């Protein structure tokens, strides 16, 4: 991971999260048109952490953060994905 495309420059994932938060909280704009032409709902819970993307926070986000010693405080307020439920749903 590390870098996401944002127009012609690359930005880091936490910069994208800050951008989304500022847009929703300060400007009230909730949809994001990615350079790929896909529109996303700017939601940490419903988009980033959805079953289609990074549902497994402990495996995906935490493993890297533990290694690098980063502890985002975001989960004090935002709801973590319910991993047990998602894992049950993933049995194809």
- SS3 label, residue 5: strand
- 8 Å CB contact between 51 and 77: no
Please tell me whether residue 11 binds ligand HEC under the rule CB under 6 A: no
Among 7, 76, 91, 92, the residue binding ligand HEC under the rule CB under 6 A is 76
Please tell me whether residue 24 binds ligand HEC under the rule CB under 6 A: yes
Pull the structure tokens for residue 80.
């973590």
- SS3 label, residue 69: coil
Among 25, 27, 33, 38, the residue binding ligand HEC under the rule CB under 6 A is 25
Please tell me whether residue 16 binds ligand HEC under the rule CB under 6 A: no
- SS3 label, residue 2: coil
**Number of chain positions touching ligand HEC (CB under 6 A):** 27
């Amino acid at each position: 991971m590390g870098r996401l495309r944002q127009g012609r420059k690359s930005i880091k994932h936490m910069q994208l999260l800050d951008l989304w938060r500022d847009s929703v909280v300060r400007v009230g704009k909730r949809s994001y048109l990615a350079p790929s032409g896909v529109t996303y709902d700017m939601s940490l819970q419903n988009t980033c952490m959805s079953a289609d993307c990074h549902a497994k926070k402990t495996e995906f986000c935490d493993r890297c953060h533990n290694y690098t010693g980063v502890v985002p405080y975001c989960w004090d307020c935002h709801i973590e994905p319910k991993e047990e439920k998602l894992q049950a749903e993933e049995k194809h």
